[in-house]
A and B are shown apart, each in its own frame.
Chain A
């Protein structure tokens, strides 16, 4: 008996080690990639071009980051990105939260289908007509075309997440409010909206991240002064600085806010993505 128990324990231990190795195998492509990105950004040019490669920066230098700010209009691009992403997310919440509520309550399947079409369509196909219209309206050269097209990403995400949330809320509280003489608008504002706050947080984070990451709209619509960060890092920095260090540093700066947000809000993000397979562009 004792021998068998020992064998079982051994089997369990082996199983645990195997499982641990599986977890390590799953997460190492992500870890190693981002560590390599960090390593590139902290090394001087000689070490970055060395072969065999230098893995650990010795000593780590911040020259690449300083260079990104000194040689480029990085601050302008950051402000552009902030304006576009915050604007498109804020507007999408104003429009999309009530819409999600309306669709969930009226069970408007057709309205939901239109939102789904937006999810299926390639981002480029909106750009051809919108590009022409912005030209005719002489809006090119401002940030407004970017903000407006980013709504193509943010509005469907917000509506989609909010439909799911409002459908999951208990009906009774709202009905009680309606029976007590509240208007639908009041029931929405004072009963449903406070209850849906976690859903709004999820929608906001996802809409912001996918707007921040968007590249294709900016590539077509942005002018010299109106580039968002992803476009700037591709267009300006990658062409003017062929050297890897500053390019990796710029790439890291662009994606850092999103990575931090993911680490801090992982529960909300996992919840939102599990529910709907949301993704923009």
Chain B
């Protein structure tokens, strides 16, 4: 068979693959695309459960710009996200470098390390809540027994977000580790051999060879972590419920309250749209950072 004929056949095959996509496409349309369109529709209407849709144009969006509770939730979300990205990424890279080395019982150690991200979030959140109890919690006992003053953890409006970040870091560092570990596994060994011959130290090799080579993986991990931290819900909802007061009420919590406690569906739909745009912007920003780095 000639090359041209093969090419033609290949193209025809490509066209014939759409039936494979059809069933999944119908479902994606029903549970992903249609909800999105409906959300856009709702966001320009005044609507409460049981009532009628009243078209109000962009009023819901304008209302958001003057809603202090919403604006503060955005600030809190960004604060929570910044911390919940930096800590897991730094620790995750360190963990990946450690687990990349061969050592006895590496498999079981790595499995234990990833257990926090696989465990049911609600279940671990409930147990964390018990450890934060100011009088009876085990964490304050451990702190005071090594001479550190006890903390109010989630019972204080200043320490609540750092405490939630600690749990988020505990839970999601493993995902960063796994993604970076995937990058390390595909590294060539030649640069390391050359550097060793030149007498480079371990730290030098890490900084000048490992980090630049796995940089794309670190960026991917950072983007994924950012998206997940912006969307964080289970941990915050169960551990602090947005409190004390509203001091840990992030956008997702605000959205939940508007939609399913106050039943302001139209307003909540507008929050959803703004929320999604923020997530998209942040991810694009991070991806363009990756492009620039590669370009250099």
Chain A: residues with CB nearer than 8 A to chain B?
A: 19-20, 22-23, 26-27, 29-31, 33-34, 36-37, 40, 49, 51-53, 94-96, 98-99, 101-103, 105-108, 111, 114-115, 117-133, 135, 148-149, 151-152, 155, 159, 178, 184, 188, 209, 212-213, 215-216, 219-220, 229-231, 233-234, 238, 244, 247-248, 251-252, 254-255, 258-259, 261-263, 266, 269-270, 273-275, 277, 279, 281
Contacts and interface: CB of A to CB of B under 8 A. Distances in A.
Interface of B: 9, 13-21, 23-25, 27-28, 31-36, 38-39, 42, 49, 94-95, 98-99, 101, 103, 107, 109-116, 118-124, 126-128, 130-131, 135-136, 138, 141, 145, 170, 175, 178-179, 181-182, 185, 220-221, 224, 227-228, 230-231, 233-234, 237-238, 252, 255-256, 259-260, 265, 268-269, 272, 275-276, 279-280, 283
Contacts of B238: 215, 234
Contacts of B99: 26
Nearest to B169: A29
Contacts of A19: 98, 101, 103
A22 B234 CA distance: 30
Contact of A118 (B28, B101, B109, B136): B28
26 contacts: A29-B170, A33-B124, A51-B136, A51-B141, A98-B23, A103-B21, A107-B14, A111-B25, A118-B32, A121-B276, A122-B276, A122-B279, A128-B39, A128-B272, A129-B35, A130-B35, A133-B38, A159-B24, A184-B13, A215-B238, A233-B123, A234-B122, A244-B130, A251-B120, A255-B124, A274-B182
Given A119-B227, A124-B256, A258-B120, 4 more contacts: A95-B24, A120-B280, A127-B259, A131-B259
A95 B21 CA distance: 8
B238 to A, nearest CB: 6
A242 to B, nearest CB: 11
Nearest to B142: A53
State the main secondary structure of chain B at its contact with A: helix
A49 B145 CA distance: 18
A275 B123 contact: no
